[in-house]
């Protein structure tokens, strides 16, 4: 079975995110005063052949390449891939 893994990567809390800060301030400038903080990140969609240790291997891939654990946090979710 094919799985779809979506990886979300953001800068760690406590690491300055100047882009997120600029976006938050822009939203404030547009009148959305309820915005207290904004963090920018990226998401990566992977189509994965299902095999053993999927979670473990995904964590490894995130630690080794997809995220930089020094400055970034990541999480991922695994879903059934929709066959096209």
With contacts defined by CB under 8 A, name the span among 31-39, 48-56, 61-69, 76-84 that binds other proteins.
61-69
How far apart, in Å, are the Cα atoms of 17 and each of 50, 60, 63, 72? 35, 25, 20, 11
How many chain residues are in contact with other proteins, going by CB under 8 A?
11
Of 2, 6, 15, 50, the one binding other proteins (CB under 8 A) is 15
The answer to whether 8 and 72 are in contact (CB under 8 A) is no
Interface residue with other proteins among 6, 59, 68, 77 (CB under 8 A) is 68
- Confirm or reject binding of residue 26 to other proteins (CB under 8 A): no
What would the two tokens of residue 11 be?
């800068």
């Amino acid at each position: 079975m094919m799985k779809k893994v979506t990886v979300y990567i953001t800068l760690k809390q406590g690491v300055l995110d100047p882009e997120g800060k600029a976006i938050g301030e822009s939203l404030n400038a547009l009148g959305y005063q309820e915005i207290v903080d904004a963090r920018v990140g990226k998401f990566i969609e992977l189509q994965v052949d299902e095999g053993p240790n999927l979670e473990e291997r995904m964590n490894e891939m995130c630690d080794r390449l997809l995220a930089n654990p020094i400055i970034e946090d990541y999480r991922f979710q695994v879903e059934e891939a929709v066959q096209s």
